Amino acid sequence: MNLPDHELLELNGLCNALIDGAITESERVRLEQVLAASEDARRFYVRAMALSASLFDYAGEMQADAPDVPLPRVVRVPKWVWTIGSLAAAASVALAFWLGGANEIANAEQESSDESVARLSGAKDCRWVGAALQPGAELRRGQRIELQSGFAEITFDCGAQVTLEGPASLDLSSAWDAVLNRGTLKANVPHEAIGFRVSNPSVEVVDLGTEFSMVADASGATEVFVLQGSVEAAARDAAGNSGEPVVLREKQARRFAVAGSTDVHDRDAKLAKLNRKIALERFTRPANYVHWSFDEEAGPAHAQTIGLANDNFTAQLEPASEALSAGTRTEGRWQRALQLDGKTFAKVPFPGINKRAARTAAFWIKVPADAPLPDAGAMLAWPLGNAGRGVEIGWNRQPLDGALGTLRTTAARNSLTGTTPLRDGRWHHLAVVFSPRQKADAAPQIRQYVDGRLDGLSARRTGKRVRGGQAEPREIAGSADESLWIGRNLAGRESGEHFRGALDELFVADRALTPPEIRSLMTRNKPATTEMLAVE
């Protein structure tokens, strides 16, 4: 779709007004004119109407009574303007495509066995039921963890850390929730992971920023203990329905069973036992980093390397003129930052950047409030493999791909759009983690973090190719170049796709960093040491 940004925004607004039933007669006439003049506009319109129809139908199925909101009136465009067929035929094809895409997504998720949501980050004296988990192993959505004895620490992608004490059984539902089938669990949940949830047949516990424990016995009853902070706990009945949640605070406890909830006997003794510290063996290998602070007065940005022999990662500013170079620094989140004006960008020689390997890019960004769409070029970009594809990290300017101004990452044929707005003139810490798949040429899994909080996790597909919802990432020309681009899209793309804003403290690591390591870069502006991770 090649609509200019101002036309795309206007068309999106007209479609939204039509869907909401608030379109005026003058807007309706304008919409007909836009559709009559552009095939791309008609395609956008069909996709928008198909999405609205499918969501309306889904909403109707989710309520007991018939929906009382009328479907949007379709704009009747003269037949002669439709070079792609009649509106009815196009809409039905688009709707089938959209719903077919949704089915494909569901099928791919069912077939996927490669979607990581957590990892085994620590252990002590573990004896496993069945195959032993390897140190540092990635854990999949839907996987059951069976521990016969010992202690196993699981770090979820949201940042919550759960320690199981065997015998115990835990199902991983997603990056944000798990099911405790039996045994003892201790959860340490940082502020960035508030909302993490653990449930079982007798209770559902939602964290409010805390440290808590759960003990599930063979009868199905579960005791909940709050070690620090507070949680919401809702009892479940025999049908699996949750009751009104109660808030439990520090040093409080409650026993939940299908018959109801009661006080916990010998609560203080159990709290003391659960509060004991367990010395675990950690499974995080050292990471190598390249770090640009952008603290120079002006000119090129020099890098510091950690664990790498090659230290020639100087970011050269382009276009290289004294006038531009003199104005490329501003007040940063930590000392100075790189100021990009929508024309200036930086290019860094980076041997091996195009290899399909695990990698993390973490940095601070400040996007002007209400920045215009033409300034939504990539903050960071680099080639990926030798098939004409690449990685681009920027903010979203496509209305059909998600909320405007949120973090968006593309990597080969995979893409991910977050939910946290970035266009507010404030500093935000971003981290994007790439994990390769077993298939050599497959797109990596993407994890996005905004201000330390998980802001999107892409599925690593092993099923069919997913279509619908998001535009297919475009092919990239000239991807054989081993360079990191700062402030513009990859070479070979349309001119003018540059980023406007400030960027500070850029770290590129040679593996997938964990949430505690990302928090260290955000709060301390330096990589976490083994000692730091041990006290997280």
CA distance 524 to 132: 36
**Model pLDDT, residue 496:** 55
Reduced to 3 states (helix: H, G, I; strand: E, B; else coil), residue 349 is strand
To the nearest 10°, report the CA torsion of 179, 185, 190, 193: 0
pLDDT beyond 50 at 36 = yes
Q: Closest Cα partner for 116 from 150, 90, 154, 86?
A: 154
Q: Are 125 and 151 a contacting pair, CB within 8 Å?
A: yes
SS3 per residue for 252-316: CEEEEECCEEECCCCHHHHHHHHCCCCCCEECCCCCCEEEECCCCCCCCECEEEECCCCCCCCEE
Q: What is the pLDDT of residues 310-327, one digit of tens each?
A: 778 999 998 866 556 667
Secondary element (H or E) of residue 183: strand 177-188
According to the model, what pLDDT value does residue 480 have? 57
Distance from C-alpha of 204 to C-alpha of 275, rounded to nearest angstrom: 22
- What is the DSSP annotation of 406-469? EEEEEETTEEEEEEEE-BSSSEEEEEEEEE--SSTTSPPEEEEEETTEEEEE----SSSPP-SS
Q: Is 139 helix (H, G, I), strand (E, B) or coil?
A: strand
Residue 282: what pLDDT? 84
Mean pLDDT of 34-62: 65
C-alpha 412/C-alpha 67 separation (Å) is 41
The CA distance from 53 to 91, in Å, is 10
**pTM for this model (two decimals):** 0.78
Backbone angles phi, psi at 32, to 5 degrees: -60, -40
Give the pLDDT band (50/70/90) at residue 21. confident
Backbone angles phi, psi at 273, to 5 degrees: -65, -45
Phi and psi at 341, nearest 5°, equal -100, 15
pLDDT band at 81 (very low <50, low <70, confident <90, very high): very low
